[in-house]
Copies of this chain bind each other. A is one copy, B any other.
Amino acid sequence: MFDISHLAEVRSVMKKEGLKAYLVVTGDPHDSEEPAPYFAAERAYFCPFSGDNAYLLITADDALLWTDGRFFISAEQELKGSTIRLMKMQTKGYPTLDEYVAEKKLYPLGTNENLISPRFLKGLSKGGEVLDKDYSYLVKDRPSLSKDPIWEFNDKKYNTLSRDEKLLNVYQEMEKLGAEAHLITTLDDVAWLLNLRGNDVNCTPVFYSYLYLSKKEGTHLFVDPSRIHFELKGITVHPYGEIASFLAAHKDVPTLVDDTKCSARLFNELKNPVCSRAPSNLMKAIKGPTEIENIISIQEEDGVALLKFGKFLSEHAGEKLSEWDYAVQLGKYRAEGERYFEDSFTTISACGENAAMMHYAPTSKVHSVVDPDRVIELLVDSGGQYYGGTTDTTRTFLVGKPTPEYIHDYTLTLKSVINLSSTVFLDGCSGTAIDIKAREIMWREGMDYKCGTGHGVGYVLMVHEGPNGFRYRSAPGKDDQSRLVPGMVTTIEPGVYKQGKYGIRIENNLLCVPAFETSDGTFYKFETITFVPIDTKALDLSLLSDSEIAWLNAYHKEVYDRLSKRVGGDLLAYLKEATKPVSR
């Protein structure tokens, strides 16, 4: 854990070694969004900030943390007293990390090249020398990497394609790209390709490993061999730590590698890299019929958990339970699901000013009481990992007395959801081209939420997955600008965040499906595959158009039809009430 003295430790080593600055990165050698505790310990040791997507730059007399808009509010609070200053990404008046390093001439700059991409390194190195320095030895009490068994997920009932079929497809793509070999460093790509899963990262069933495909020498998996208790036919297993020396021994082979995701250290071993996105990345994003059938089924299961939660909340709103109590309760309901095995991320259960912090999550120690006399809403953003899919859903429940401003903002948020969800678009569109459908209703009023409208969702994998997403412009480090095609699952999660007041977000998962084909082209649309009632109590129906009301009623009818098969008694009665049609 962070202590201000740790900054002094780094500075003393920096001084000894003649570094002008040291850069601590959030991450692991696999470009994971959430690194395992073993890697996460590093930034936590030097910095009290808890969000992701951040860089900590330590100079002789200053320390600066860059992070994005989701965390501006929480970062300001967490950094208090740390001497670390917040630098806001993509915000007027704040230089980027690269610009800052170049402008202040902070060279030589030290950083751990195992944790950054070649492009990142190139950007950093523009104005001077960057040295590969690893000060992780300073970190005390670092947890070890997982030793848990890796589990097979190769059954036909889970996957449209078998491990061998997936590998064959990737080998064919390598051929097209003129590569003899292919280094895969991203954990979800390895897990997806091999139809394997692990428990190494909280909420994400991946395992620390590298995969190397060679047309001549076959398929090689780098992972702690003691964790594999089954046969992996046709795959040679090497210890995790041997990847660098293996690459060095094969350095001249034309090797397909995603240089935006591979670590600079491994990338530099390759003398003949063929730089391109890993073919598995797009294959993984396009869910096949088996995956889609499973996802829809576990979404219903997830919907039941959230339905029980909605009922619980409606019955206990007056009891001044805490955000944490509610999160625990939701966890219990989700655990009742037959195929559930863990959450897909830490549940956000937040009211009032906490909900205004986009990625605030309560803990057993730090949380607020959901007091209907003090707060208007409870925002619950949560998801599950199921044998059959990954979910990510947000509902904002009315618990107190809504102000006209809140009613207006809540209604606007729903309109955003409806407008993008019901878009029809031509093949060739990325999320960039259609994001405005969610935002325009807010933009017209001078409002905007400081995050993407949505992200891809993995299949029993990462809850944030590229390359699909909804974002009106590209954002550094975000891989979400790809063409949208049927089979992709993307969240839609617009919101309104009023600092110190409240936060509103409504989030569904959208499956891209064919709409129609005409002489002018192939058109796509979305199916909403989250089945959870949307709280209608804070809606101003006069702000909804006829077609928006029709969308809402049709959605609620579908939620009723799907969940009513799975529940009975009081819960069914609650479902009926929660999904009853609205009208002006």
A residues near B (Cβ < 8 Å) are 423-426, 428-430, 432-437, 439-440, 443-444, 446-448, 450, 472-473, 483, 516-518, 520-521, 523
Nearest Cβ on chain B to A426's Cβ, whole angstroms: 6
Nearest Cβ on chain B to A123's Cβ, whole angstroms: 14
B residues within 8 A CB of A523?
443, 446
Cα(A523)–Cα(B439), bound, Å: 12
- Can you list the 3 inter-chain pairs with the closest CB atoms, starting with the nearest? A446-B518, A448-B520, A433-B472
B residues within 8 A CB of A428?
472-473
B residues within 8 A CB of A426?
439, 443, 448, 472
Q: Considering only CB atoms, which chain B residue lies closest to A92 in the complex?
A: B522
Additional A-B contact list (14), CB under 8 Å, known A437-B440, A446-B517, A446-B520: A424-B440, A424-B443, A425-B440, A426-B439, A426-B443, A430-B473, A432-B433, A433-B435, A433-B473, A434-B436, A443-B523, A446-B521, A446-B523, A447-B518
Nearest Cβ on chain B to A542's Cβ, whole angstroms: 15
- Assuming the contacts A424-B443, A440-B424, asked whether A429 and B518 have C-beta atoms less than 8 A apart, the reply is no
Nearest Cβ on chain B to A422's Cβ, whole angstroms: 9
B residues within 8 A CB of A450?
520
Nearest Cβ on chain B to A513's Cβ, whole angstroms: 15
Nearest Cβ on chain B to A270's Cβ, whole angstroms: 20
Cα(A440)–Cα(B419), bound, Å: 11
Each complex incorporates copies of this chain amounting to 2
Cα(A446)–Cα(B428), bound, Å: 14
Partner of A436 from B436, B473, B516, B521 at Cβ < 8 Å: B436
Q: Are B433 and A520 in contact (CB-based, < 8 A)?
A: no
Q: Are A424 and B444 in contact (CB-based, < 8 A)?
A: yes
Partner of A437 from B436, B448, B516 at Cβ < 8 Å: B436
Cα(A446)–Cα(B424), bound, Å: 9
B residues within 8 A CB of A517?
446
Cα(A533)–Cα(B473), bound, Å: 35
Cα(A424)–Cα(B472), bound, Å: 13
B residues within 8 A CB of A432?
432-433
Can you give 20 contacting A-B residue pairs, CB < 8 Å? A423-B436, A423-B440, A424-B440, A424-B444, A425-B443, A426-B472, A428-B473, A429-B472, A430-B473, A433-B433, A433-B435, A433-B436, A433-B472, A433-B473, A434-B436, A443-B523, A446-B516, A446-B520, A448-B520, A450-B520
Cα(A513)–Cα(B556), bound, Å: 41
Q: Are B436 and A425 in contact (CB-based, < 8 A)?
A: yes
Cα(A533)–Cα(B450), bound, Å: 41
Nearest Cβ on chain B to A482's Cβ, whole angstroms: 11
Nearest Cβ on chain B to A511's Cβ, whole angstroms: 19
B residues within 8 A CB of A444?
424
Q: Considering only CB atoms, which chain B residue lies closest to A516 in the complex?
A: B446
Q: Which of A423, A446, A516 has the most CB of B within 10 A?
A: A446
Q: Are B434 and A520 in contact (CB-based, < 8 A)?
A: no
Q: Which of A436, A448, A523 has the most CB of B within 10 A?
A: A436
Nearest Cβ on chain B to A464's Cβ, whole angstroms: 21
Partner of A447 from B423, B430, B447, B520 at Cβ < 8 Å: B520
Cα(A435)–Cα(B426), bound, Å: 12
Q: Considering only CB atoms, which chain B residue lies closest to A483 in the complex?
A: B473
Q: Considering only CB atoms, which chain B residue lies closest to A449 in the complex?
A: B520
Cα(A495)–Cα(B450), bound, Å: 35
Cα(A521)–Cα(B88), bound, Å: 14
Cα(A472)–Cα(B217), bound, Å: 43
Q: Considering only CB atoms, which chain B residue lies closest to A429 in the complex?
A: B472
Cα(A448)–Cα(B519), bound, Å: 9
Q: Are A429 and B473 in contact (CB-based, < 8 A)?
A: yes
Cα(A426)–Cα(B472), bound, Å: 9
Cα(A436)–Cα(B428), bound, Å: 12
B residues within 8 A CB of A424?
440, 443-444
Cα(A205)–Cα(B288), bound, Å: 56
Q: Considering only CB atoms, which chain B residue lies closest to A91 in the complex?
A: B521
- Assuming the contacts A424-B440, A435-B433, A436-B434, asked whether A521 and B473 have C-beta atoms less than 8 A apart, the reply is no
Cα(A421)–Cα(B426), bound, Å: 21
Cα(A428)–Cα(B429), bound, Å: 18
Cα(A446)–Cα(B521), bound, Å: 7
B residues within 8 A CB of A483?
473
B residues within 8 A CB of A440?
423-425, 437
Cα(A432)–Cα(B473), bound, Å: 9
Nearest Cβ on chain B to A421's Cβ, whole angstroms: 14
B residues within 8 A CB of A425?
436, 440, 443
B residues within 8 A CB of A516?
446
Nearest Cβ on chain B to A127's Cβ, whole angstroms: 10
Cα(A443)–Cα(B437), bound, Å: 14
Cα(A429)–Cα(B474), bound, Å: 10
Cα(A425)–Cα(B450), bound, Å: 14
Cα(A440)–Cα(B448), bound, Å: 22
Cα(A473)–Cα(B425), bound, Å: 12
